[in-house]
Amino acid sequence: MRILRAARELGISTVAVYSDADRRALHVLHADEAYRLGPAPASESYLRGDLILNIAAQCGADAIHPGYGFLSENAAFAEACEQAGITFVGPTANAMRMLGSKTSARQLADAAGVPRVPGTTAAATSAKDALAAARKIGFPVMLKAAAGGGGKGMRAVEQESELASALTAAQSEAQRAFGSSDVYLEKLIVRPRHIEIQVLADQHGHVIYLGERECSVQRRHQKVIEEAPSAVVGDSLRRRMGETAVALARHAGYTNAGTAEFLVDAEENFYFLEMNTRLQVEHPVTELITGLDLVHLQLQIAAGEPLPFAQDDIHLRGHAIECRIYAEDPDNNFFPSPGLITGLSQPSGAGIREDSGIYDGWTVPLDYDPMLSKLVTYAPTRALAIERMRHALDDYFIGGIATNISLFQRILSDADFQAARIDTSYLDRLLSAEPPAQSVTETVTHSEQVAAIAAALFNASSGKPSEAGANAEAADTPWKQARRREGLR
Amino acid sequence: MQRDILIGGKTIRLEVNGDHVSVDGDDLAVDYQLISANELSLIVEGRAYRCLLDRTVTDEAIIVAGKRYPFAVEDPRALKSRKARGAGTEGPLQIKSSMPGRVLRVIVGEGEDVVPGQGLLVVEAMKMQNEMKTTRGGRVRRIAVREGDTVNAGQLLAIID
């Protein structure tokens, strides 16, 4: 929907593709044209580049925007688009290959003089090999899948004795998730922040950075809350990180939107992690503090237009926070909770943006990532953006399914989060702490009274046949109710 | 209209009479408007509340100011619901699936004694495994599914006596 809207605004007509599970999805409802790809499993639909290209050719599409999942970082697909004469909205297949695999990205980072976490550039082939490398780097170390992302194929290793079994586990997980068992080693940075730099590069050699995003609030290596700017990044660190990211993009001959991810330690040392060669889920926070539309810019860059501004034209204003709302139950081990949405009331008002793909009466499919929406607030200061988000979450009602909204309410009211004392293990610490005591009181609280009155009124108005006769109030017509109120005055 | 509402482990007796409601004997001035099937504007003694009704496959709750209050309703005058109340606290407990998925494993057998919090079976959905637990102790009267079965949200999985 995000991309579809941006295209429409630029006068570009849109074509949606969908799997059987997504026939009723919002993007299909709103596109100018829509074509079926295949059955629900992504391997038979959204990952079938050949089918997507067939549809593109048949409907005469000029360009394909790959979104931010599925084939968005697939160099083979980008190459197939190039060969078919269809513009892929993103970097070239060549740049994607150079930066897409973590090992080749690290070699490139070394060549570009980009600081990175000490580690191996080649995949560890044997336990012996890995042990030698780990001793050189020094424990603790981290094992990571070369082709990976999203936390799959990752293992932290504290000491030598754990290395061999962790390597086997990481390799088999990497093989299953990415079709490649290549795993490399890295030094484990203690309590790092995850901070990333948004870059934009056109086809005429202009490369700029759009400030940073703080993405340290993570669960199982998945981002949960993102904000911009970071509370710990000052002008000097921002410039150093930004210029580093730009140098890397230049070195790779990168074009379009991309993100360089860094770990930042307490001493403001930053280490390059990886480059995401696509638009990212959390791009709205950057849009809000820069006043730019990244999807418009992606489309313009893909059309060969030069960037309409220079680095000095970029000014950051205010603070933005994004919560990733998922259909998962924080009270039940974050178990996914797909199902029918039976009621929906979305927050709105000044400084509130909601990018979602849901509607009342839609069934959240169980086939894909259960992200429902991204709720973003923007305000002059971080404290106000947090306050705005807390109220927006209170107003947000998604009925019928469990969501992680209560998790965000907990994080945003936490003193450490409010003071920006966060790092990549912050959320794990918060979740392993005693949950705030469920205030079970002997006496009935005022809120419980209110809830009870509401429950009784809803119950009476639902008009259950077995309880007929108790529904006198509910049976009132609006006229009768109005008359009674008149009588009160 | 009279209702007993079970909320936060307590039973609240309510009697709604037009624009007044008696809550456990306290008389409060109320005004209300049903905005939609699941949204209510409620004014209690001049204080305004937006109350949302959330029905999931496992429970029913009121959401006020972002807080969720699961509840159960009884009509004290209906004989039927008084029986239902007995069933709720003493009779058999029905364990239902909270989501569509596949039964991966059945942990306990029929006739076995279980304690509160014990896992009964494992349901898999979206490549994640979820252990379905009993909230009460008792004897397993029935396991309604078999390993490998596909289940829908709200489908009966087991009954605990």
pLDDT over 90 (residue A472): no
pLDDT at A436: 64
**% of residues, chain A, pLDDT over 90:** 66
Chain A contacts of B153, Cβ < 8 Å? Answer: 339
pLDDT band at B85; cut points 50, 70, 90: very low
Query: Catalytic: which of A2, A219, A238, A278?
Result: A278
pLDDT at A367: 85
Q: Does residue A194 or residue B128 have the better pLDDT?
A: A194
In this prediction, residues A155-174 reach a mean pLDDT of 89
In the beta sheet, which residues pair with residue B129?
A: B124
pLDDT-based confidence at residue A484 (cuts at 50, 70, 90): low
pLDDT-derived band at A470 (thresholds 50, 70, 90) equals: very low
Residue to test with chain A: of B22, B69, B95, most A Cβ within 10 A: B69
Please indicate, yes or no, whether residues B56 and B113 belong to a single structural domain of this protein. Answer: no
Domain edge (last residue) among B88, B118, B146: B88
Q: Indicate the range of A135-149, A381-395, A431-445 predicted with least confidence.
A: A431-445
Instruction: Give ipTM to 2 decimals.
Output: 0.70
CB contact under 8 A, A457 and B80: no
Whether residue B92 has pLDDT greater than 90: no
Last residue of a domain, one of B43, B60, B88: B88
* SS3 category, B104: strand
Cβ contact (<8 Å) for A451 and B51?
Answer: yes
The pLDDT, as a whole number, for residue B155 is 85
A474 pLDDT more than 70: no
Residues B75 and B8 in one domain: yes
The answer to whether residue A37 scores a pLDDT higher than 60 is: yes
Q: What is the pLDDT of residue A479?
A: 53
Query: Can you give the CATH number for the domain in which B136 is found?
Result: 2.40.50.100
Residues B54 and B123 in one domain: no
CB A379 within 8 Å of CB A319: yes
Give domain A2-96's CATH number out of 3.40.50.20, 3.90.950.10, 3.90.480.20, 3.40.50.300: 3.40.50.20
Quick one: pLDDT at residue A100? Answer: 79
For A:346-385, CB contacts with B below 8 A are 366-367, 370
**Do B132 and B98 share a structural domain?**
yes
**Shared domain check, B62 and B15:** yes
Give the closest-approach CA distance of B84 to chain A in angstroms. 12
Of A25-39, A85-99, A154-168, A203-217, the least confident: A154-168
B24 shares its domain with B48: yes
Same-domain status, B78 and B135: no
What pLDDT sits at residue A473? Answer: 41
Mean pLDDT for A117-144 is 86
- How many structural domains does chain B have? 2
User: Which pLDDT belongs to residue A154?
Assistant: 85
CATH number, span A118-187: 3.30.1490.20
Helix, strand or coil for residue A313?
A: helix
pLDDT for res A179:
82
For residue A308, is the peptide bond before it cis, meaning its omega torsion is within 30 degrees of 0?
no
- Per the CB < 8 A criterion, the answer to whether A389 and A382 are in contact is no
Does B99 contact A336 at a Cβ distance shorter than 8 Å? yes
Domain extent at residue B18: 2-88
Phi-psi bin for A386: left (phi > 0), alpha (psi -120 to 50), beta? alpha
Whether A155 has a pLDDT exceeding 80, the answer reads yes
Last residue of a domain, one of B68, B88, B108: B88
- Say which range, A1-10, A112-121, A444-453, has the weakest mean pLDDT: A112-121
Give strand ranges (E) for A8-131: 15-19, 33-38, 63-64, 87-88
Q: How far is B110 from chain A (nearest CA, A)?
A: 25
pLDDT value at position A312?
96
Question: Where is average pLDDT lowest: A163-172, A176-185, A319-328, A345-354?
Answer: A176-185
Q: For residue B83, what pLDDT is reported?
A: 42
Kindly state whether residues B72 and B135 are assigned to the same domain: no
Task: Identify the H or E element spanning A319.
Answer: strand A319-326
Chain A / chain B CB contacts < 8 angstroms: 175
Task: With a cut of 70, say whether residue A439 has pLDDT above it.
Answer: no
> How far away is chain A from the Cα of B91, in angstroms, using its nearest Cα?
21
Q: Are residues B82 and B40 part of one domain?
A: yes
Q: What is the pLDDT of residue A202?
A: 96
CA–CA separation, A225 vs B16, rounded Å?
44
Predicted local distance difference test score (pLDDT) of residue A276: 92
Compute the average pLDDT of residues A196-203.
97
Asked if residue B130 has pLDDT above 90, the reply is no
Average pLDDT for A16-24? 94
Going by C-beta distance under 8 Å and a sequence separation of 6 or more, which residues neighbour residue B89?
none
Q: Which CATH number fits domain A193-432: 3.30.980.10, 3.30.565.60, 3.30.470.20, 3.40.30.10?
A: 3.30.470.20
Q: Decide if A278 is catalytic.
A: yes
Kindly list the domain boundaries of chain A, sorted by start residue. 2-96, 118-187, 193-432, 446-488
Name chain A contacts of B42, Cβ cutoff 8 Å.
450, 453-454, 457
Phi-psi region of B114 (alpha: psi -120 to 50; beta: other; left: phi over 0): beta
- For residues B82 and B7, membership in a common domain is answered with yes
Q: Are residues B51 and B114 in the same domain?
A: no
Q: What is the pLDDT of residues B52-82, one digit of tens each?
A: 999 887 789 999 988 999 999 887 666 544 4
Q: Is the pLDDT of residue A488 over 80?
A: no
Tens digit of pLDDT for each residue in A295-340? 999 999 999 999 999 999 999 999 999 999 999 999 888 888 889 9
B110-121 residue pLDDT tens:
988 888 778 898
Q: Please give the residue that has the higher pLDDT: either B45 or B87.
A: B45
Residue B127, pLDDT score: 66
pTM: 0.77
Q: Give yes or no for A335 touching B (CB within 8 A).
A: yes
Determine the Cα–Cα distance for residues B43 and B34; give it in Å rounded to an integer: 12
Task: Give me the mean pLDDT over the B27-45 stretch.
Answer: 92
CB contact under 8 A, B14 and A401: no
